[in-house]
Amino acid sequence: MADKAEKLQRRHEETALMLDKNQEEYNVNDAVFDRPTLEGVLRLIQKKKIDKIKGVLKAGKEAHVFWGTAPGGREIAVKIYYTTTAEFRKGMMRYIEGDPRFKHIRSDTKSLVYAWTQKEFSNLQLAAQGGVNAPRPIDFLKNILVMTFIGIDGVPAPLLRELPLEDPAGFYDMLTDEMRALYQKAGLVHGDLSEYNIMVWENKPVIFDVSQAMFINHPLAPSLLQHDVETVNAYFARLGVQVYDNKELTEWVKTGEA
């Protein structure tokens, strides 16, 4: 028992060295950096995927997202899902059931969170392969996802809802192009697309939070696409953009030339 306690203490000390700021500034506690998560972070350091974690970008109901650096100084985002949130588990099941990638996963919360992390990584891979403007996946382990950072010097790109657009109509056209690429080239429907998970970087839309995205042949895909179309159209209509009819945009996303 003493040996185990000493090893765990060393892991906490190693993590403290990895973090550039103190624990109060991070508001990090054992709900985020529990023992398996500590081990996962240290393994990713050993794999040279993470060098340092420098600050919290977002503390949400499902995960903490950190800003960090990889060896060589490249900025990264590190998303750490909580492994003890029962409410989150209920929401996950809708998006995991019927996905052939996760046929044989166990139903306990931790296993589902690990599968959810893998799902987001896989969806980011598909988005990258399809040329979708989204964070690029770097690696994942357990409940930890490492991806490219969208922003500069630790300041994330603004969300769509935070930034007045110089050309809302032009941005709408670019965003619908991204929706089409996600559907036709990546084979995915986002399912939760809104001004809250679209960033604006270099005057272009960047789609993120793709963990719930589904294959286009999933039974839920039509209703998820309908949600995305209606939400995007409603937002840009409020900005005075002459948007497509919902049905027209849905058909164009699905069948228009990519």
What's the average model confidence in pLDDT over 140-153?
Answer: 97
Model confidence pLDDT, tens digit, residues 181-232: 999 999 999 999 999 999 999 999 999 999 999 999 999 999 999 999 999 9
Q: Are residues 146 and 216 in the same domain?
A: no
State the pLDDT at residue 181: 98
CA distance 172 to 174: 5
Q: Are residues 179 and 250 in the same domain?
A: yes
Q: Are residues 166 and 144 in the same domain?
A: no
What's the average model confidence in pLDDT over 142-160?
Answer: 97
Say whether pLDDT at 13 is over 80: no
State the pLDDT at residue 24: 45
Query: Packing angle between helix 35-46 and helix 2-18, nearest 10 degrees?
Result: 60
Is 192 an active-site residue?
yes
State the pLDDT at residue 100: 78
CA distance 78 to 100: 26
Say whether pLDDT at 135 is over 50: yes
Q: In terms of pLDDT, which residue wins out, 116 or 11? A: 116
Q: Are residues 107 and 10 in the same domain?
A: yes
Q: Are residues 135 and 227 in the same domain?
A: no
The distance between the two most distant Cα atoms of the chain, rounded to a whole number of Å, is 68
What's the average model confidence in pLDDT over 120-140?
Answer: 98
Model confidence pLDDT, tens digit, residues 52-92: 999 899 988 889 999 999 999 999 999 999 987 666 666 77
Evaluate if pTM is beyond 0.85.
yes
Q: Are residues 116 and 189 in the same domain?
A: no
State the pLDDT at residue 46: 95
Catalytic residue among 177, 192, 228, 245: 192
Q: Which of 152, 183, 209 is the last residue of a domain?
A: 152
Q: Are residues 141 and 199 in the same domain?
A: no
Phi, psi of 39 (to 5 degrees): -60, -40
**169 — pLDDT class (breaks 50, 70, 90):** very high
Give me the domain span that covers residue 8: 2-152
Cα separation values, 218 from 58, 134, 187, 227, Å: 30, 22, 10, 15
Q: Which of 186, 185, 188 is nearest to 228 (CA)?
A: 188
Q: Are residues 79 and 137 in the same domain?
A: yes
Catalytic residue among 30, 51, 209, 228: 209
Which DSSP string do the residues of the chain spell out, in sequence order?
-HHHHHHHHHHHHHHHHHBSS-HHHHT--TTTS-HHHHHHHHHHHHTTS-SEEEEEEEE-SSEEEEEEE-TTS-EEEEEEE-S--HHHHHHHHHHHTT-GGGTT---SHHHHHHHHHHHHHHHHHHHHHTT-SSPPEEEEETTEEEEE-SEETTEEPPBGGGS--S-HHHHHHHHHHHHHHHHHTS-EE-SS-STTSEEEETTEEEE---TT-EETTSTTHHHHHHHHHHHHHHHHHHTT--PPPHHHHHHHHHHS--
Q: Are residues 142 and 169 in the same domain?
A: no
Q: What is the CATH number of the domain that holds 112?
A: 3.30.200.20
Q: How many domains does the chain have?
A: 2
Q: How many CA atoms lie within 13 A of 129 on its CB side?
A: 12
**139 — pLDDT class (breaks 50, 70, 90):** very high
Say whether pLDDT at 243 is over 70: yes
Q: In terms of pLDDT, which residue wins out, 206 or 255? A: 206
Say whether pLDDT at 103 is over 80: no
